Amino acid sequence: MKIIVIGIGKVGYTVAEQLIMENHDVVLVDTSRDILRDALGSLDAIGVSGNGATRETLIEAGVSESGLVIALTGSDELNLLCCLIAKRLGAKATIARVRNPDYHRDLDITAESLGLTMAINPEQEAAREIYRILKFPTAINVDVFSKGMIDLVSFEVCHGSTLCDKTVREAFSNIGYNVLACAVERLDEAYIPKGDFIIREGDIVAAMIPPNEITHFFKAAGIPVKRVKEVMVVGGGVIAEYLVSELLSLNMKVTVFERDRETAKNLSFRFPQANIVCGDGTNRDLLLEQGLANTDAVCTLTGFDEENIFLSLYAQNTFRDIKTVTKVNKIAFQELTGVLDIGSVVYPKYITANKILQHVRAHQNNVGSSVETLYKIINNKVEALEFHVAEDSLVAGQSLIELRLKKGVLIGAVTRGGKPFIPHGSDRLMPGDSVVVVTTLTGLSDLDAIIEDKYE
């Protein structure tokens, strides 16, 4: 598919990189020649210098032949205008980054007239991910499928867990809950475990679990269960604004540290129930004065990755029971965060890229069993995808034991008639089902592609 990406900042670059990895023809558009030159030095793409909201620039980029135009500049208004003009010039679909909550709320009314296929808010998506993590703080990450009816929960197997040194079959059959181990990370390697795979202390396990069974599962597995009542948020930007709103809805006690006086004042007016501190959240004395030693969780959301990482390291190493969530923007820090003890790590631009990839893959196959949900887990080494089973799908009517699945593919959950379940070998996949597939393969856009003999 030919895809035009307008605005090559951190998010735009990451989105373009992921699309190129999936063999799409990408055209980069930006007003800065320097930014384009740097991006084209590392990306296999075409560059067009100019304003993506003008007819001339879009025509030069080939808008009439494009399957998708994605507007990711720093301006909501410009993004919406880019999409409006691109659609009028023949783009088949458009996606805009819209960060302003007021605009985002009204898009269900104006999307069609703007020619907008999808709006995405990276900050809101990041806040939702942090919210899910704090709701189940024992987990490293929680990804939602089937409209919240079943979750893919990633957690570390700690010393003393009943899962240690047992095969997957033995460990999970003894738990007594509806749980399936779908992926394991060990020493930077990712595995799709079979029944005889032995779980070790320190492994990161991703398991399908119904939300109402997550806490019970952790207790049964001998993994300490934490509950978050008090949260400290360092950095009062847009992500923090969305997050505070979510946390207050759970009656959590929230303290926010923000250096900028005007931003802090606005937060205090909007959230009178929260404790808004105008000060440097990297100041250890200030953190301790505001109760760091007694808080349950710290979210480091400043605009500087280095500050976020060091703050989380300090909190983890000084107060071992604190849950930390660290926002990281730079790809260069990804390998570092994997070996440091900084708790859960959130990458807003990867969240955005995954949302866009989900949309792209879903529309690559409009008539078959296409992608409904997509997450990249285990440091982007594993994909978890939700598919709708079409009437003419090769898997429809087949039992799991009959399917010749490709290596590195696992069917993690099935939702039928609004009820999710962990499937067994005798269970059949039926038209209308939603199926969660966990795999080390990349680029799947059709459920039939999981079958070994489809392309033989």
pTM equals 0.84
- Extract the tokens encoding 334: 């990804």
CA distance 174 to 170: 6
CA distance 20 to 190: 23
> For residue 184, which of 404, 377, 340, 373 has the smallest C-alpha distance?
377
The number of angstroms, rounded, from the C-alpha of 313 to the middle of its chain's C-alpha atoms is 23
Q: Which single residue is written with the structure tokens 């609004």?
A: 418
CA distance 71 to 438: 30
Domains in the chain and their CATH numbers? 2-120 (3.40.50.720), 230-346 (3.40.50.720), 352-454 (3.30.70.1450)
H helices present in 250-372, as ranges: 261-270, 284-289, 305-318, 334-339, 348-364
β-partners of residue 230 are 253
> For residue 301, which of 72, 131, 446, 94 has the smallest C-alpha distance?
131
Check residue 440 and give its pLDDT.
93
β-partners of residue 6 are 29, 71
Contacts of 164 (CB under 8 A, 6+ apart): 157, 199, 200, 201
Q: What is the dihedral of CA 156, 160, 166, 167, to 10 degrees?
A: -20
| HSE-up (13 A, CA, CB side) for residue 313 | 11
The 8 Å CB, 24+ separation contacts for 304-312 are 305/329, 305/330, 305/333, 307/234, 307/282, 308/234, 308/235, 309/333, 309/336, 309/337, 309/340, 309/342, 310/282, 311/234, 311/281, 311/282, 312/342, 312/343
Pairing type for strands 118-120 and 141-145 reads unpaired
Burial of 23 (0-12, 13-18, 19+ CB in 10 A): exposed
Contact 211, 220 (CB under 8 A): no
Check residue 350 and give its pLDDT.
86
Written as one letter, the residue type at 451 is: I
CA distance 305 to 159: 30
CA distance 64 to 288: 58
Residue by residue, pLDDT tens for the chain (456 residues) are 899 999 999 889 999 999 999 889 999 999 999 999 999 999 999 999 999 999 999 999 999 999 999 999 999 999 999 999 999 999 999 999 998 877 777 777 778 778 888 899 889 999 999 999 999 999 999 999 988 899 999 999 999 899 999 999 999 887 777 899 999 999 889 999 999 999 999 999 999 999 989 999 999 999 988 889 999 999 999 999 999 999 999 899 999 999 999 999 999 999 999 999 999 998 999 999 999 999 999 999 999 989 999 999 999 888 878 999 999 987 655 666 556 778 889 988 888 888 898 888 877 655 556 788 889 888 888 999 999 998 888 899 999 998 889 999 999 999 999 899 999 889 999 999 999 999 999 888 888 889 886 444
CA distance 294 to 213: 28
Check residue 332 and give its pLDDT.
59
* Strand order through the sheet with 275-278: 275-278, 253-258, 230-234, 297-300, 323-327, 344-346
Contact 205, 199 (CB under 8 A): yes
